Amino acid sequence: MTCKSTIKLALPLLLAFGLPAHAQISVPSGGTYDVPTGATMDLACTNLDIQGAMTIGAGQLNQIASVGIGASGSINAGSGTLSLSGDWSNAGSFVPGSSTVILTDSCGGGPTAFNGTTVFNNLTLSSSTGHTFVIPTGSNIVVNGTLTLQGVNGQPIQLVSAGGSSVISLGPGANVVSNFANVAGNVQIGNSAIGNGAPSSIPTLSEWARLLLALLIAGTTVHSLRRFRA
């Protein structure tokens, strides 16, 4: 039996009998795996290693250690949820759909690092122990939905750069909710600075809104110049 066949048969059987799937999931290059519709799978702090193609649909994958998407790998996240405690490494393709990716400290371990370029829908960085999240250099992370930064009083989460300047870009209509988060000076969230304290929500402007704002500013400037010359 091939590794592909083992993945496609073993996990649905566990789920069919109401048993949690406590095992690492590894999809080899050329292999495929579709999470059963509506399934909730517990990886018990083991890795999700995708070298082939995975479709999550409306499923939930919890207690993941680290997520690795190889150069030949792809995850179509659909409306699903992925919850992990280790690193997020993407050298392949991640299709966010309307999904949510949650990084916590539930499996313990040291700082959590992002590697590669990824566009997320909803992204949550959460910890009750002051966990550190390492943001890659450059503008390699994009959030199109909601970016949630959640620590606790006395134990804020830490966002630091892997080196140089790091940016988490926000798509049109994206917003940020931040509570008890310390963001290093060389880490930028959209166009705004985020700090420790009460929850905040930061809207972004669409391309049309930015164009309209620029036209309004230009019109105001011209009007002021005419009045000055008069």
pLDDT digits (tens, 9 = 90+) for 112-135: 999 999 999 999 999 999 999 999
What whole-number distance in Å separates Cα of residue 70 and Cα of residue 18? 31
Decide if 225 is inside a domain: no
Number of neighbouring beta carbons within 10 Å of residue 67 = 22
Could you tell me which residues are beta bridge partners of residue 43? none
Count the domains in the chain: 1
62 three-state secondary structure: strand
What whole-number distance in Å separates Cα of residue 26 and Cα of residue 3? 8
Give the CA dihedral 12, 16, 17, 21, nearest 10 degrees: 40
**Angle CA 143–51–123, to nearest 5:** 15
Decide if 109 is inside a domain: yes
158 three-state secondary structure: strand
Decide if 151 is inside a domain: yes
Decide if 224 is inside a domain: no
Look up the domain containing 8 and give its range: 3-205
Decide if 21 is inside a domain: yes
Decide if 189 is inside a domain: yes
pLDDT digits (tens, 9 = 90+) for 146-187: 999 999 999 999 999 999 999 999 999 999 999 999 999 999
Decide if 211 is inside a domain: no
Decide if 216 is inside a domain: no
pLDDT digits (tens, 9 = 90+) for 32-46: 999 999 999 999 999
pLDDT of residue 211: 53
Element (H, E) at 227: helix 207-229
